[in-house]
Amino acid sequence: MPKAESLPNITADDVAAQAGVSRWTVNRAFKKDASISPKTREKVMTAAQSLGYVPDLSAAALASTRSNLVALLIDDFANPHKLVMLEKLTRALRSRGWDTLLVNTLDSDDAAPALLNASQRRVDATILIGIQFDDEVLNAAHDARRFKKLIIFARTSENPNTISIAVDDEAATREIAQYVIRKGYQRPLYMAGPRTVSAHLLRKETFAREWKDRFDREPECIAADRYDPDLAASIAHDALKDRTAAELPDIIVCENDALALGVIDTIRHRLGLRVPQDIAVLGFDDVPQAAGHNYRLTTYRQPLTEMSNYLVDVLESQDDTVHDRKFLGRLVPRDSA
Amino acid sequence: MPKAESLPNITADDVAAQAGVSRWTVNRAFKKDASISPKTREKVMTAAQSLGYVPDLSAAALASTRSNLVALLIDDFANPHKLVMLEKLTRALRSRGWDTLLVNTLDSDDAAPALLNASQRRVDATILIGIQFDDEVLNAAHDARRFKKLIIFARTSENPNTISIAVDDEAATREIAQYVIRKGYQRPLYMAGPRTVSAHLLRKETFAREWKDRFDREPECIAADRYDPDLAASIAHDALKDRTAAELPDIIVCENDALALGVIDTIRHRLGLRVPQDIAVLGFDDVPQAAGHNYRLTTYRQPLTEMSNYLVDVLESQDDTVHDRKFLGRLVPRDSA
DNA sequence: TTGTATGCGTTATCAT
DNA sequence: ATGATAACGCATACAA
């Protein structure tokens, strides 16, 4: 028995009684394509309104094989792009009737527990937008058979157990490399991010390959193990602070904007140089700040809205065919490169 | 019957059979302070492990009066502080066993539907960190009696139907005002944000009062109706672009960092002036970028970790006493003011 | 300490 | 088109 003060829930039975129909008819009235006469539906809905009834999705999830709930596993909160992704994803999901369970993957040991945590809520799919999932964890999760769908969003993965929805990193990076070459840069420095699932470092490798194809030499590379502007700033500073002008790169190509923003700060405020005149900078993602008057960052924009909508398409699809998909974004030239 | 391919769920009954106990004993093994002998618990846990059993929280929520699930309603995604809040909150919640349902309040008409949406998942509490909730919506929600706890986080509210966990805006703003006065600024411009729940514009009003108490005149004020750096940049530009040097403020005090960052960009890149020499800028929140080499923003830091932990305390408290609480943060002086 | 009946609010399936 | 039966997986309350 619940506590005295908490007044009893209004259930479908209550509505049924009020409307003079059965509980199952009430259920049908709330379902889109149910075989129910418009008249009874009307009657039911009126009763429901007057009682303030809304279906209990928790009970619905228990009774059926679908919950209309997805888990979104996230980390890497220093990366401003994560906020944009959260907005786009939750908007697409909610506007099409899906709820989101947000799971903060607290640290590197927490990937598996986080995954388990999600599965305990009967989610219909688990979406990964973090960076702490390696193939080992993914395969373990798959083997445990706890997941209907495991989706890696905005990050290429070649793991056969997951659905990957991402931009075509190779095509994008080729476009970036061609842009850098066309603009006449000679001494690029590539700043990579942390390694992630199977296709890790795809961008870096593609850039290096393109550069080598053209100039027959490898570009210089450095890496940050988090997508954190401050960390990127420090690493760039360490790498460049003792160099003569001739030794400096003429452009720093960053794996994403989070790194690029920190790099620009270092160039300007710690090295006392100008962007792009002394060192140009190029990013990836097109975070909101990239467009602002301070950074004017040349970057590559992912079609996040389209990708989010496709993700919901995948959720709603019945068939078990492969749903991996690569999207094409576009280079947004601004003033930084 | 579920579809053929989806293998049957492992339930407490399965574990009970394997361990040779009853289903209810399995239940006890998974409960913290249950009266169960260490030996049987051990036996049950072994069986559970071998079968890969974990309790179904969906079913648990249905059967009990608690779900260990909270809804987090959010909007205002242009404000970088939201990402920090999301991280702190989900970390505190998850590390103490609470799950988070993230609800994107899509637009201003969506506040009530979003609230309803949350309630359908049997959440134990609803946390509001958005700006689209006015007293009308809150009172309606309260009257519908759908919410056990309605918590407004990081925003002062005087609505009697909600629990407000926030910094003491008046104390904080007084500290800010004293700092501005002590530093000898003469012509402040206050930039306010959107109006929100009952205590809206508390910061602006407190600053104006402090200033008036000291100099017997009102400070100039402008406002942005979203916490968006770009919008703040435009508004600041419009307000200042045609002024002579003597007409310009010597400091712009912003309701939060989201506004301050945009204001700094405008001062530097559109007005061609220096911060703080020509115009100083002061913020609120201490977002990550505030500490970076580019902005070096003087701002006021909220004790978000402490506040998040207190929020979980409130969730776990049984009593129905008032839980409103104001926290004290601290002013972080950097180079911008 | 352990076992048992009953209920949570819905949906799948079958019957009318 | 509507009604009825039996789960869904667990928790509460009580009995043993």
Q: Which tokens sit at A64?
A: 């059926």
* d(CA A179, nearest CA chain B) in Å: 26
CATH number at A12-55: 1.10.260.40
Contact between residue B288 and residue A229 where contact means Cβ atoms under 8 Å apart: yes
Q: Compute the nearest-CA separation of A208 from chain B (Å).
A: 30
What is the sign, positive or negative, of the torsion defined by CA atoms of B293, A227, A325, A110?
negative
Task: Write phi, then psi, for B230 (nearest 5 degrees).
Answer: -65, -45
What are residue A331's phi and psi, to 5 degrees?
-75, 130
Count the residues in chain A.
Answer: 337
C-alpha B82, offset from chain centre: 7
Q: Are B249 and B189 in contact (CB under 8 A)?
A: yes
Residues of B in Cβ contact (< 8 Å) with A102: 72, 86, 90, 100-102
CATH of domain B169-301: 3.40.50.2300
Please state the separation of Cα B66 from the chain's center in Å.
23
DSSP string, B256-275: SHHHHHHHHHIIIIIS---T
- The CATH-assigned architecture of domain B69-167+304-328 is 3-Layer(aba) Sandwich (3.40)
Of A58-67, A220-229, B41-50, B323-332, the poorest mean pLDDT is in: B41-50
Burial of B315 (0-12, 13-18, 19+ CB in 10 A): buried
Tens-digit pLDDT profile for chain B (337 aa)? 233 334 668 899 888 888 888 888 998 898 887 778 888 888 888 989 888 889 999 999 999 989 999 999 999 999 999 999 999 999 999 999 999 999 999 998 999 999 999 999 999 999 999 888 888 888 888 877 778 899 999 999 989 889 999 999 999 999 999 999 999 999 999 999 998 776 678 999 999 999 999 999 999 999 999 999 999 999 999 999 999 999 999 999 999 999 999 999 999 999 999 999 999 999 999 999 999 999 999 999 999 999 999 999 999 997 777 789 999 999 999 999 9
Q: Would you call B229 and A293 a contact, using CB atoms and an 8 Å cutoff?
A: no
The token pair at A242 is 């003792």
Equal fold, B12-55 vs B169-301? no
Which chain B residues are within 8 Å of A262, Cβ to Cβ?
292
CA of A22 to C1' of C16 (A): 14
Burial of B238 (0-12, 13-18, 19+ CB in 10 A): exposed
Q: Which of B328, B316, B302 is nearest to B95 (CA)?
A: B316
This prediction's pTM = 0.94
In this complex, the nucleotide whose C1' atom is nearest to the CA atom of residue A53 is C9
CA end-to-end span of chain A: 67
Cβ-Cβ contacts under 8 Å for B158 (sequence gap 6 or more): B164, B197, B198, B199
Chain CA centroid to CA A176, Å: 21
The CB-based long-range contact list for B176-181 (8 Å cut-off, 24+ gap) reads: B176/B207, B176/B253, B176/B282, B176/B284, B176/B300, B176/B331, B177/B206, B177/B207, B177/B210, B177/B211, B177/B214, B178/B210, B179/B282, B179/B298, B179/B331, B179/B333, B179/B337, B180/B251, B180/B253, B180/B282, B180/B337, B181/B210, B181/B211, B181/B214
Nucleotides of D under 7 A from a protein CB: 1-5, 7-13
* Å: B21 CA to C14 C1': 35
Of the candidates B312, B316, B287, B303, the one whose C-alpha atom is nearest the C-alpha of residue B154 is B303
Contact B148, B157 (CB under 8 A): no
Tens-digit pLDDT profile for residues A116-175: 999 999 999 999 998 888 888 888 888 777 788 999 999 999 898 899 999 999 999 999
Mind giving me the DSSP string for A158-220? --TTSEEEEE-HHHHHHHHHHHHHHTT--SEEEEE----STTTTHHHHHHHHHHHHHHSSPPE
Given phi > 0 = left and psi -120 to 50 = alpha, else beta, which region is A70?
Answer: beta
Would you kindly state where each structural domain of chain A is located, as residue ranges? 12-55, 69-167+304-328, 169-301
